[in-house]
Amino acid sequence: MDKFKVAVLGATGLVGQRFVKLLSDHPFFEVAALTASSRSAGKRYCEATKWMLGSGFPEAVRDMKVLESSPEAVKGCGYNIDIVFSALPSSTARELEPAFASSGFNVVTNASALRMFDDIPLIVPEVNSNHMKLIEHQRRRRGWRGLIVTNPNCSTCILTLTLKPIMDVAGIEAVHVTTLQAVSGAGFSGVTSMAILDNAIPFIANEEEKMQTETLKILGTLEGETIKQADISVSASCNRVCVLDGHLECVFLKTRRPVSPEEVKEALKSFKGLPQELKLPLAPTSPVIVKDEVDRPQPRLDRDEGKGMSVVVGRLRSGRDGWLKYVVLGNNVVRGAAGNAILIGEVMAKSWLSD
Amino acid sequence: MDKFKVAVLGATGLVGQRFVKLLSDHPFFEVAALTASSRSAGKRYCEATKWMLGSGFPEAVRDMKVLESSPEAVKGCGYNIDIVFSALPSSTARELEPAFASSGFNVVTNASALRMFDDIPLIVPEVNSNHMKLIEHQRRRRGWRGLIVTNPNCSTCILTLTLKPIMDVAGIEAVHVTTLQAVSGAGFSGVTSMAILDNAIPFIANEEEKMQTETLKILGTLEGETIKQADISVSASCNRVCVLDGHLECVFLKTRRPVSPEEVKEALKSFKGLPQELKLPLAPTSPVIVKDEVDRPQPRLDRDEGKGMSVVVGRLRSGRDGWLKYVVLGNNVVRGAAGNAILIGEVMAKSWLSD
Amino acid sequence: MDKFKVAVLGATGLVGQRFVKLLSDHPFFEVAALTASSRSAGKRYCEATKWMLGSGFPEAVRDMKVLESSPEAVKGCGYNIDIVFSALPSSTARELEPAFASSGFNVVTNASALRMFDDIPLIVPEVNSNHMKLIEHQRRRRGWRGLIVTNPNCSTCILTLTLKPIMDVAGIEAVHVTTLQAVSGAGFSGVTSMAILDNAIPFIANEEEKMQTETLKILGTLEGETIKQADISVSASCNRVCVLDGHLECVFLKTRRPVSPEEVKEALKSFKGLPQELKLPLAPTSPVIVKDEVDRPQPRLDRDEGKGMSVVVGRLRSGRDGWLKYVVLGNNVVRGAAGNAILIGEVMAKSWLSD
Amino acid sequence: MDKFKVAVLGATGLVGQRFVKLLSDHPFFEVAALTASSRSAGKRYCEATKWMLGSGFPEAVRDMKVLESSPEAVKGCGYNIDIVFSALPSSTARELEPAFASSGFNVVTNASALRMFDDIPLIVPEVNSNHMKLIEHQRRRRGWRGLIVTNPNCSTCILTLTLKPIMDVAGIEAVHVTTLQAVSGAGFSGVTSMAILDNAIPFIANEEEKMQTETLKILGTLEGETIKQADISVSASCNRVCVLDGHLECVFLKTRRPVSPEEVKEALKSFKGLPQELKLPLAPTSPVIVKDEVDRPQPRLDRDEGKGMSVVVGRLRSGRDGWLKYVVLGNNVVRGAAGNAILIGEVMAKSWLSD
Write the CATH number for D40.
3.40.50.720
- Phi then psi for residue D215, to 5 deg, are -55, -40
Query: Which subunits have 3 or more CB–CB pairs within 8 Å of chain C?
Result: A, B, D
Q: Which residue does chain A place closest to D50, by CA atoms?
A: A293
Q: H or E segment at D188?
A: none
Give the gyration radius of chain B's Cα atoms. Answer: 20
Claim to verify: residue D102 and residue D188 sit in the same structural domain: no
> Identity (one letter) of the amino acid at B51?
W
If one counts the domains in chain C, the total is: 2
Asked if B164 contacts B271 with a C-beta cutoff of 8 angstroms, the reply is yes
Q: pLDDT per residue over C50-78, tens digit each?
A: 888 877 789 999 999 999 999 999 999 99
From residue B136, give the alpha-carbon distance in Å to each of A297, B121, B140, B148, B342.
47, 11, 6, 11, 20
Domain that holds residue B209: 154-331
The alpha carbon dihedral of D342, D347, D348, D350 has a sign of positive
Residues B81 and B158 reside in one and the same domain: no
C-beta atoms of B54 and C304 within 8 A:
yes
Question: Strand pairing of C67-68 and C83-86?
Answer: unpaired
> Tens of pLDDT along B176-202?
999 999 999 999 999 999 999 999 999
Known catalytic residue at A154: yes
Please tell me whether residues B165 and B294 are part of one structural domain.
yes
ipTM: 0.95
Nearest to D54 among A54, A197, A301 (CB): A301
Q: What is residue D219's predicted lDDT score, i.e. its pLDDT?
A: 98
Tell me how close the Cα of D242 comes to any Cα of chain C, in angstroms: 6
pLDDT mean over B22-26: 94
pLDDT score recorded for residue D320: 85
Are A146 and A165 members of one domain? Answer: no
Q: What is the pLDDT of residue A195?
A: 96
Angstroms from B307 CA to nearest CA on chain C? 9
- Give residues with Cβ within 8 angstroms of A355, minimum separation 6: none
User: Given a cut of 80, is residue B56 above it in pLDDT?
Assistant: no
pLDDT mean across residues, chain A: 96
Q: What is the pTM of this model?
A: 0.96
Q: Are residues D87 and D173 in the same domain?
A: no
Q: Which among B193, B198, B242 has the least Cβ separation from residue D192?
A: B193
Same-domain check for residues B112 and B213: no
D318 neighbourhood in chain C, CB within 8 Å: none
> C187: nearest CA in chain A?
A194
B231 SS3 class: coil
Q: How far apart are CA D50 and CA B121, in angstroms?
A: 40
The length of chain A is: 355
A26, A154, A157, A238: the catalytic one is A154
> Cβ A298–B199 below 8 Å, yes or no?
yes
Provide the CATH number for the domain around residue D214.
3.30.360.10
In a 3-state reduction of DSSP, which class is residue B330?
A: strand
By annotation, the residues of C acting in catalysis are 154, 247
The span from the CA of A145 to the CA of D211, in Å, is: 67
- Best interface-test mutation with B: which of A233, A250, A313 has the largest number of B CBs within 10 A? A250
pLDDT of residue D355: 72
Task: For residue range A256-272, list pLDDT tens digits in order.
Answer: 999 999 999 999 999 99
Optimal mutation site among A55, A184, A295, interface D, most CBs of chain D within 10 A: A55
DSSP state of A335: I
| Chain segment A48-66, per-residue pLDDT in tens | 998 888 777 899 999 999 9
HSE-up of residue C23 (Cα within 13 Å, Cβ side): 31
Listed in sequence order, the DSSP H helices in chain D are: 14-23, 45-48, 71-75, 90-102, 125-128, 134-142, 154-170, 193-196, 207-218, 261-270, 274-277, 299-302, 339-354
Instruction: Choose among C55, C197, C302: nearest Cβ to B55.
Output: C302
CB contact under 8 Å between B192 and D195, yes or no, is no
Same domain, A225 and A235: yes
User: Running DSSP on this structure, what letter comes out for residue B305?
Assistant: G
pLDDT of residue C44: 96
Q: Do C203 and D295 lie within an 8 Å CB cutoff?
A: yes
How far is D82 from B159, CA to CA, in rounded Å? 60
The sign of the CA dihedral A165, A166, A172, A175 is negative
D99–chain A nearest CA distance, Å: 37
Query: D323 and D181 in one domain?
Result: yes
Do the Cβ atoms of A242 and A194 come closer than 8 Å? no
**pLDDT on residue A1:** 66
Phi, psi angles (nearest 5°) of residue A154 = -55, -50
**Terminal C-alpha separation, chain C:** 15
User: Does A193 lie in the same domain as A100?
Assistant: no
**What percent of chain B is predicted at pLDDT more than 90?**
94
User: Which residues are CB-contacts of A110 (< 8 A; sequence separation ≥ 6)?
Assistant: A15, A85, A86, A87, A150, A151, A337, A338, A341
Does the pLDDT at position B1 exceed 70? no
Beta-ladder partners of D4: D29
Within chain C, residue ranges assigned H as helices are 14-23, 45-48, 71-75, 90-102, 125-128, 134-142, 154-170, 193-196, 207-218, 261-270, 274-277, 299-302, 339-354
pLDDT at B131: 98
Asked if A345 and A132 count as a contact pair (C-beta separation under 8 A), the reply is no
Res D56: pLDDT: 77
Q: What is the pLDDT along chain D (355 residues), one digit of tens a residue?
A: 689 999 999 999 999 999 999 999 899 999 999 999 999 999 999 999 988 887 778 999 999 999 999 999 999 999 999 999 999 999 999 999 999 999 999 999 999 999 999 999 999 999 999 999 999 999 999 999 999 999 999 999 999 999 999 999 999 999 999 999 999 999 999 999 999 999 999 999 999 999 999 999 999 999 988 999 999 999 999 999 999 999 999 999 999 999 999 999 999 999 999 999 999 999 999 999 999 999 999 999 999 999 999 999 999 999 889 999 999 999 999 999 999 999 999 999 999 988 7
C160 and C144 within one domain: no
Question: Average pLDDT for residues A340-351, to the nearest whole number?
Answer: 97
Q: Is there a single domain that holds both residue B164 and residue B304?
A: yes
The answer to whether A56 touches A30, Cβ cutoff 8 Å, is no
- Interface partners of B (3+ CB pairs, < 8 Å)? A, C, D
What pLDDT band is residue B54 in, cutting at 50, 70 and 90? confident
CA distance D197 to C294: 19
The mean predicted confidence, pLDDT, of chain C is 96
Q: What integer pLDDT is reported at residue C221 of this predicted model?
A: 98
Mean pLDDT of chain B: 96
The per-residue pLDDT for D1 is 65
- Asked if the model's pLDDT at residue C1 lies above 70, the reply is no
In this structure, the answer to whether residues B96 and B187 fall within a common structural domain is no
Q: Do B302 and C55 touch (CB under 8 A)?
A: yes
Contact D48, D16 (CB under 8 A): no
